[in-house]
Amino acid sequence: MTSGGVGRVSVLSIGEVRLRPHNIVGNGTPMLWWTFTSRRWTDPLPVNVVLIEHEQGWILWDTGQAPASADSPKEYFPGGFVGAVYARQVDSTLTPGQGLGEQLELAGVPIERLSLAAISHLHYDHAGNVGELAAAGIPVLVSESEHDVLTGKSPHMHGVLAEYLLDAGVQWRPVTFAPSQDPALVDFDGAYDVFGDGALTLLPTPGHTTGSMSLLVRRGEGRNPLLLVGDATYDPSLIEKAVVPDVGDRKQQLETLRKFAALRDHLPGLQVIAGHDPRAAELAA
């Protein structure tokens, strides 16, 4: 354990996904147009989750995709128009040994040793294994506005598969962001200090979804701070270029990237850890 409350940070991959290029590099094309006309897939990309050691316990950032989403997608995803969108946008794989429980065991921290989890947003490849956390009694932080989508009238239309999230007995802890006195966070609309020591701070970063949030990890002892961003970007090099996916609210996404760039100015050495970046483990080291 280092000083500053944070020790080991490990990036684990819970399978892979192939996406349409517009999922990563957008140009303002309407989502439904490219969803049903695109003929290209990206190379396989990891589904990253992050395990964080804090002096108050082990924290998990995101949970990855459930095995059923890769093994039996026709049964896992909804039917009709929404199901057709999923089928056109994502192609999931999960090989033996890549499940969340197995990856945590390999990392030396079985699920029951976790103290807390936090979810960047509720899409299936980030919240797909919350049921495993529920079985172990692990509380799950999610932004209040994202939780409102989950419990609202039409979560499917926002890409949220509520049937797997509401029926799993999850101990949801909706996060309300409050004004922060931290000068590094002046550009953000509030913050939530997870343990009250400044080591782990949740930030509202909407755009990809209404309630997307990111986690700032300050590690102390000269180690670079980390910003875990879910799908706010897929490639940290796109932040300065102001390139966002063609999924979500484009104006909000661009504003969120502006805030990331400002945070880099406040925190030299900041490394951005994206949910599907193949280089995430290297950047977090």
pLDDT digits (tens, 9 = 90+) for 138-173: 999 999 999 999 999 999 989 999 999 987 789 999
The SS3 assignment for 282 reads helix
pLDDT band at 4, cuts 50/70/90? low
Residue 16 lies in a domain: yes
Residue 277 lies in a domain: yes
- Provide long-range contacts, Cβ within 8 A and 24+ apart, for 78-81: 78/156, 78/161
pLDDT band at 2, cuts 50/70/90? very low
How far is 250 from 236, CA to CA, in rounded Å?
17
The mean pLDDT of the chain is 95
Residue 219 lies in a domain: yes
pLDDT digits (tens, 9 = 90+) for 96-146: 999 999 999 999 999 999 999 999 999 999 999 999 999 999 999 999 999
Q: Which domain holds residue 210?
A: 6-284
pLDDT given at position 3: 42
pLDDT digits (tens, 9 = 90+) for 185-230: 999 999 999 999 999 999 999 999 999 999 999 998 789 999 999 9
> What are the DSSP calls for 35-55, one per residue?
HHH----PPPEEEEEEEEEET
Residue 212 lies in a domain: yes
CA dihedral over 277, 278, 281, 283, signed as positive or negative = negative
Q: What is the percentage of the chain residues whose pLDDT exceeds 90?
A: 94
Residue 1 lies in a domain: no
Domain count, the chain: 1
Q: Pairing state of beta strands 226-230 and 213-217?
A: antiparallel
Structure tokens that stand for 73 in this block: 């997608």
User: CATH number for the domain including 176?
Assistant: 3.60.15.10
Question: Which residue in 64, 76, 79 sits closest to 17, CA to CA?
Answer: 64
User: Does residue 17 contact residue 47 with C-beta atoms inside 8 Å?
Assistant: yes
DSSP letter assigned to residue 185: G
